[in-house]
Structure 1
């Protein structure tokens, strides 16, 4: 949820600066045609072009209902997650807009040092799915060596066969289809969560750079 909120904030900033996306829109590992047939239209949660930049629209993207629609997480779970994050200091309200803003330094600290203990994962059986960690586009060809098994989030519409890795939440494959930046962020997090030291180190550096964390 926190990474989705960060992605929303980046989308606002990118729009105001005249940049439509933070990372390439072709960073995906699923079949759009299959998704279009199943859902009628491929929904993209990163486009402002046809919606305008009205404050009311921006605020509407942060409601529990809107977050449920784009993440696949129920409204009750969204509210519970947000309240918990406010309580522990991972979220705070923007002084000007009142919108929830991520405490990026604290979030990255938790991801790097605590996530693998709270949400442990080990690659399992071979399945069809969406490439993650070092096999995702954000890290592809930077670390992967020939013959290495690919980690994937299980998903029938994914384009890759590899070892199953349980995502942080069951609806992750649905959520990343609507937000290429979220896909990149979650893949980096998985590289930290399940990767070897070299993979985790590179992913940490990329994550800190993108979230503008200064040492």
Structure 2
């Protein structure tokens, strides 16, 4: 697996969530080429090349974190397996790299949708380095270089990725809280 595989799978979950709230027709109208789950549309939304997305999908299906829906020929993340991997293995396979103070997009519990859920004394906010970012904080290397821009375009994806970073970065209490929030988001649909 590669770290961008998690980004692609979380985007697919975000698209599925949006399909339930907006409807299939609205989601198709907003998509490149009319198919929200196409490699072309994912490339446009995530800033990951079509080749990398195709390879990511193959790796995810092979590992059991995604499955192919043969009736529609769509890839569907296996939510239970993905959740299990994120909560039990991600921090060991793709550990968070914390760097110097930089300007960027808030992540983990500094992200707007998670802000105020946990207060830790004496720590800095975490940010994904991003030139157009408005917040200062300790830089955290995102799972893929295009994550800040992709997250700013999709609030659901942003929330999922911020929770993933909270799991990657946090101590036991923070990981527990992030895990509970991620569970409620991933399994709510």
> 1:70-81 counterparts in 2 under 5 A?
70-81=45-56
Q: Distance in 2 between matches of 1:51 and 1:63?
A: 13
Q: Distance in 1 between matches of 2:124 and 2:115?
A: 13
Please name the residue that 1:6 is paired with.
13
Please name the residue that 1:209 is paired with.
184
Q: 2:81 aligns with which of 86, 106, 113?
A: 106
Please name the residue that 2:68 is paired with.
93
- Superposition RMSD on alpha carbons, in Å? 2.2
- Structure-2 change in CA distance of 1:73 and 1:52 (3 Å): closer
Q: Which runs of 4+ in 1 moved over 3 A?
A: none
Q: 2:26 aligns with which of 24, 48, 51?
A: 48
Deviations 1:46-83 (A, max 9, x none): x9389389xx83xx122211111110011111010001
TM-score by length of 1: 0.77
For the Cα contact (< 8 Å) 1:138–1:188, is it kept in 2?
Answer: no
Q: Distance in 2 between matches of 1:179 and 1:169?
A: 16
Please name the residue that 1:27 is paired with.
none
TM-score by length of 2: 0.88
Q: 2:156 aligns with which of 171, 176, 181?
A: 181
- Relative to its length, the structure with more strand (as a share) is 2
For the Cα contact (< 8 Å) 2:18–2:27, is it kept in 1?
Answer: no
- Relative to its length, the structure with more helix (as a share) is 2
Deviations 1:19-68 (A, max 9, x none): xxxxxxxxxxxxxxxxxxxxxxxxxxxx9389389xx83xx122211111
Q: Distance in 1 between matches of 2:39 and 2:137?
A: 34
Q: 2:134 aligns with which of 156, 159, 178?
A: 159
For the Cα contact (< 8 Å) 1:135–1:144, is it kept in 2?
Answer: no
Unaligned ranges ≥5, structure 1? 18-46
Deviations 1:161-199 (A, max 9, x none): 000100000100111121111000000000001111111
For the Cα contact (< 8 Å) 1:121–1:193, is it kept in 2?
Answer: yes
Rg larger for: 1
Q: Distance in 2 between matches of 1:147 and 1:188?
A: 21
1:121 deviates by 1.5
- Structure-2 change in CA distance of 1:51 and 1:192 (3 Å): same
Q: Distance in 2 between matches of 1:79 and 1:52?
A: 21
